[in-house]
A = this chain, B = another copy of it.
Amino acid sequence: VQSPALALMTFPAPADGPAHRLADATAPALRADDLAATRGDGIFESILMTGGRLHGLGAHLRRMQRSAAMSGLPEIDVDAWAAAAHAVAAEHPAVPELMVKLCYSRGIEGSGVPTGWLLAFPNGDVTRERTEGADVLLLERGVSSDLADRAPWLLLGAKTLSYAMNLAAQRHARAAGADDVLFTSTDGLVMEGPTSTLVATYGDEIVTPVPEIGILPGTTQERVFAWARGRGMRPAHVKLPVEQLASADTLWLVSSGRLCVPIRSLDGVARRFDAGMQADLLHHLTTVPDGE
C-alpha cells in the first residue's frame, strides 16, 4: 500500500522560504494533545487533482477562510496553503485521481499556535457510484433551517474536523443497505449529505439548497452550476422542501472526491437517472479547467 504524502505547515511562517515542509506520513506527525485529535477543534478541505490540476483550489481556500473565521481560528494565508497543496501533490506518485486534504487545528492546547498539515492520497474507487448511482436515505439532521443564523456557536456551515456525526450517519445508511445520506431539517427542507451537496434538476432549472439554512456552500456544486450554464440551464439556490424531491428530473450528491453521484433511489424509491447527462457532467468535472 502506497502511503500518503504529507506536508506540515510552519507557524509563524519563516521570513524566507516556504511555510511548509514535507514529512514522512508513516511516522507520527501530531502531538497527542493537539486539539485536532482531542477535540476535533479545527477545519479542513478536500481537493481533487486530475491531470495536474487541483480542481476548485481557489473556492476551497475561500471556504477554508470562512470556516476559520466561523471557528475563531487565526486567518489563513491562502498563498502559503496553495503552495503547500501543490507541493504535497507533487510529492505523491502520479495516480489518475489524487485527493489533497488540508487540515488546520487550534494546535496544542494552551500554546496559542495553530497546527496545519496536508495529506495527498489516491482517491478511493468511486466508479460504481459514479456510473450506477447511489441508494440514499433521508435522515433527520435534527435542526431547523433558521438555526445557523441565530446560533453561530453551533458552527453549522463550518467545515470543522468534528465530523463524527457525519460518519455515523453514513455508517447508519450502510447498515441499512444504502450507500449514503441526505439530511433534512425539522421544518422539512432538504439540507445536504454528510460529505456532499445536493443538486436537483427540474427541466432546464438546476437547483441546490441555499447555504443560509446551515449547510456548507458546495465547491463542486459551483463547478456543476458552471457546467449547467454552459448547457443553457438556469441555476438557482433555493429552499427546497423535501416533498419537491419527488418531482425532480434528476438528483445528485456532489462532492470533491466522488464529484457527481446520481441518486438512483431515495428511501427505497427508484429515481430517474440520465446516463448521458451524468457522463457529460463527469467529463466536465474531471477535465475542464475551472480558472483556479
Contact = CB atoms under 8 A, between A and B. Distances in A.
A149 to B, nearest CB: 12
A270 interface: no
Contacts of A25: 31-33
Interface stretch (A76-84, A167-175, A233-241): A167-175
22 contacts: A4-B32, A25-B31, A25-B32, A27-B31, A28-B29, A28-B30, A29-B30, A29-B32, A30-B32, A37-B37, A40-B40, A71-B164, A71-B168, A140-B151, A142-B144, A142-B147, A142-B154, A152-B172, A155-B165, A155-B168, A160-B162, A161-B162
The list of the 5 closest CB pairs from A to B, nearest first, reads A40-B40, A162-B162, A162-B164, A28-B28, A153-B172
A118 to B, nearest CB: 9
Interface in A25-82: 25-34, 36-42, 44, 71-72
A14 to B, nearest CB: 20
Nearest to A30: B30
A278 B266 CA distance: 55
* Interface residue range, chain A: 35 or more
A159 to B, nearest CB: 10
